[in-house]
């Protein structure tokens, strides 16, 4: 499973190291920058999945970086969690108006920042990519995202609400492995606590509905020791 890439930008090196350590403990790959120019270079070369961005930076400020990122088509949807020592509402408003996805004020608990990063990434995953169409088709399986209709070799398939959400999520992210906890985040969201094994139950139900041979699935695959993924649609 490819780890999500997080770019942490702050001129306080000790704080950057602390944030990086905690994010790495969560399985993220972390890159670091200590000024605005370095941050912009890394945005272009690394293409991170999210930026933790300090507002007050030497040279190019966090607001300038945010403005530049949102002004380019390649990065306009890049999630940004803005961090600052300032607590005034006006700074928060400016940051959010420029396109920051979340905002946290120093001093803060690092675990709270990690939770916010996770939540912002979860919300960004739920947004359909601009190039996605309204339908998906692969090896006789057809999913209409607008009508929530599923067909297998032309035959209509009835799915429960969670099985439908799982199928839509998987087909929008083929060949990408997700753990049970990640699927709970992306599909169940902020619902009341659900046991990770619940994912297995709904995966089994989904397979019963769409797989020709549930014991040898060709759509929803198990990656031993990690989680589940949808088949690689590019190989066919």
Domains of the chain, by residue range, sit at: 5-126, 135-235
Distance, CA of 177 to CA of 190 (rounded, Å): 21
Distance, CA of 183 to CA of 133 (rounded, Å): 22
Max CA pair span of the chain: 61
Tell me which CATH code domain 135-235 carries.
1.10.10.10
By the 10 Å C-beta count (0-12 exposed, 13-18 middle, 19+ buried), 81 is classed as buried
Q: Indicate the range of 153-162, 189-198, 205-214 predicted with least confidence.
A: 189-198
CA distances from 141 to 14, 28, 52, 166, 230 (A): 51, 33, 39, 14, 12
| pLDDT tens digits for range 91-126 | 666 666 677 888 888 888 999 999 999 988 987 775
Tell me the pTM.
0.54
C-beta neighbour count of 13 within 10 angstroms:
10
Instruction: Supply the pLDDT for residue 173.
Output: 87
Instruction: Check pLDDT > 90 for residue 164.
Output: yes
Q: What DSSP character marks residue 235?
A: G
| pLDDT tens digits for range 60-79 | 888 889 888 887 777 878 99
Instruction: Supply the pLDDT for residue 70.
Output: 80
Distance, CA of 17 to CA of 13 (rounded, Å): 6
Same fold for the pair 5-126 and 135-235: no
Instruction: Supply the pLDDT for residue 130.
Output: 44
Instruction: Supply the pLDDT for residue 126.
Output: 59
By the 10 Å C-beta count (0-12 exposed, 13-18 middle, 19+ buried), 27 is classed as exposed
Instruction: Check pLDDT > 80 for residue 176.
Output: yes
Rg (CA), the chain: 20
Nearest to 2 by CA among 176, 232, 228, 128: 176
Instruction: Supply the pLDDT for residue 131.
Output: 43
Instruction: Choose the CATH number for 5-126 among 1.10.3720.10, 3.40.50.1970, 3.40.50.2300, 3.90.79.10.
Output: 3.40.50.2300
- CB contact at 8 A, 158 and 148: no
């Amino acid at each position: 499973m490819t780890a999500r890439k997080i770019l942490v930008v702050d001129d306080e090196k000790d704080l950057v190291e602390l944030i990086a350590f905690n994010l790495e403990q969560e399985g993220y790959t972390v890159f670091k920058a200590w000024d605005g120019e370095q941050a912009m270079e890394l945005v272009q070369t690394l293409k991170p999945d999210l930026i933790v961005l300090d507002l007050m930076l030497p040279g190019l400020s966090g607001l300038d970086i945010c403005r530049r990122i949102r002004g380019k088509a390649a990065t306009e949807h890049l999630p940004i969690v803005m961090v600052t020592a300032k607590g005034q509402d006006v700074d928060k408003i400016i940051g959010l108006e420029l396109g920051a996805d979340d905002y946290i004020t120093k001093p803060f608990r690092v675990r709270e920042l990690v939770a916010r990063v996770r939540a912002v990434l979860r919300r960004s995953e739920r947004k359909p990519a601009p190039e996605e169409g309204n339908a998906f088709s692969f090896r006789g399986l057809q999913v209409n995202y607008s009508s929530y209709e599923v067909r297998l070799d032309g035959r209509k398939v009835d799915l429960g609400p969670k099985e439908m959400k799982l199928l839509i999520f998987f087909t929008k992210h083929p060949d990408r492995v997700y753990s049970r906890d990640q699927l709970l985040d992306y599909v169940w969201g902020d619902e009341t606590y659900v046991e990770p094994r619940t994912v297995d139950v709904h995966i089994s139900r989904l397979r019963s509905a769409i797989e020709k041979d549930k014991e040898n699935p060709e759509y929803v695959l198990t990656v031993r020791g990690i989680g589940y993924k949808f088949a690689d649609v590019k190989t066919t």
